[in-house]
Amino acid sequence: MKNLDTKRLLLRQWSIEDIEDFHELMCNPACMIGGWKPSSCREDSLNILKSYIETDGIFAIILKECGKAIGFIKIYPDNNRGKYYAKMINYLLNENFWNNGYMTEAVTCMVSYAFEDLNVDLLSAFTTPQNTSSKSVLKKSGFIYELTIENGFKRYDNEIFDSVIYSISKEDYYKK
Ligand SMILES: CC(C)(COP(=O)(O)OP(=O)(O)OC[C@H]1O[C@@H](n2cnc3c(N)ncnc32)[C@H](O)[C@@H]1OP(=O)(O)O)[C@@H](O)C(=O)NCCC(=O)NCCS
């Protein structure tokens, strides 16, 4: 997995040395807004971190000014697009760093990576109607609202949400 670079951020593979920052990220109940189950102990976080290290397409988001891992962004296959080569993204940021434009910066970088390096036909993301911040990040990064699937998302705790789907096509990307 290659490293990706933005003005303030480095996107790179996770490493075991990131465990303290990763645990801080994953034990905060704020991660539930994005659908993740908060980890209950360091051991839980370590197991998740090991699986992230082994999985292609899960980037740690590193704040260059201090070297801290403040979140992650994942890019993985979107298998609901038939003939199109499509990928989907999702992301989580440490709550202490929200509303500084960091995730918009990371998502914008991932959009370029998806089209220019991976050569996808389409990049998508889904969120919930309640997740104002995530919807804002997607719109600011050039995603276009596609549709809402009623009751389309079941969270780990079985709570059901509508699923709001956004995407960018290759054509839209190169038109910009
Ligand atoms: C969603 C998330 C990644 C956003 O990260 P972030 O770095 O704070 O995002 P940005 O700062 O780039 O943008 C957030 C935008 O939402 C806006 N926003 C936040 N709360 C808002 C609200 N209640 N109403 C309107 N806008 C809101 C902010 O003003 C900001 O827009 P601006 O830059 O135009 O001011 C972060 O909140 C998070 O990790 N949430 C939990 C996980 C999650 O929801 N992941 C997405 C799964 S779909």
1 vs 140, higher pLDDT: 140
pTM listed for this prediction: 0.95
Contact 26/36 with Cβ under 8 angstroms? yes
Q: Which atom of ligand 1 is nearest to the CA of 94?
A: 39
Give the model's pLDDT for residue 147: 97
Distance of CA 74 to the CA centre of its chain: 5
Query: What proportion of the chain, given as a percentage, has pLDDT over 90?
Result: 95
Between the CA of 136 and the centroid of ligand 1 the distance, in Å, is: 6
Break the chain into its structural domains and give their ranges: 4-175
Query: Mean pLDDT across the chain, nearest whole number?
Result: 96
Cα–Cα distances in Å, from 85 out to 39, 44, 78, 169?
33, 34, 8, 10
**Atom 24 of ligand 1, nearest CA residue:** 132
Between the CA of 82 and the centroid of ligand 1 the distance, in Å, is: 31
Place of tokens 């995407």: 167
Give the model's pLDDT for residue 57: 97
Give the model's pLDDT for residue 101: 98
Hey, which of 75, 99, 156 would you mutate to test ligand 1's pocket, going by the most ligand atoms within 8 Å of its Cβ?
A: 99
Q: How confident is the model at residue 83 (pLDDT cuts 50, 70, 90)?
A: confident
Provide mean pLDDT across the span 9-35: 96
Q: Among the listed ranges 25-29, 32-36, 99-103, 165-169, which one has the minimum average pLDDT value?
A: 32-36
CA 152 – CA 155 distance, rounded (Å): 10
Measured from CB, residues less than 6 Å from any atom of ligand 1 are 30-31, 33-34, 90-93, 98-104, 127, 131-134, 136-137
Give the model's pLDDT for residue 25: 97
Provide mean pLDDT across the span 87-96: 97
Q: How confident is the model at residue 1 (pLDDT cuts 50, 70, 90)?
A: confident
Hey, which of 91, 136, 141, 166 would you mutate to test ligand 1's pocket, going by the most ligand atoms within 8 Å of its Cβ?
A: 136
Per residue in 113-124, pLDDT (tens digit) is 999 999 999 999
Give the model's pLDDT for residue 166: 98
CATH for 4-175? 3.40.630.30
CA angle 44, 48, 19 (to 5 degrees): 80
Q: Which atom of ligand 1 is nearest to the CA of 93?
A: 39
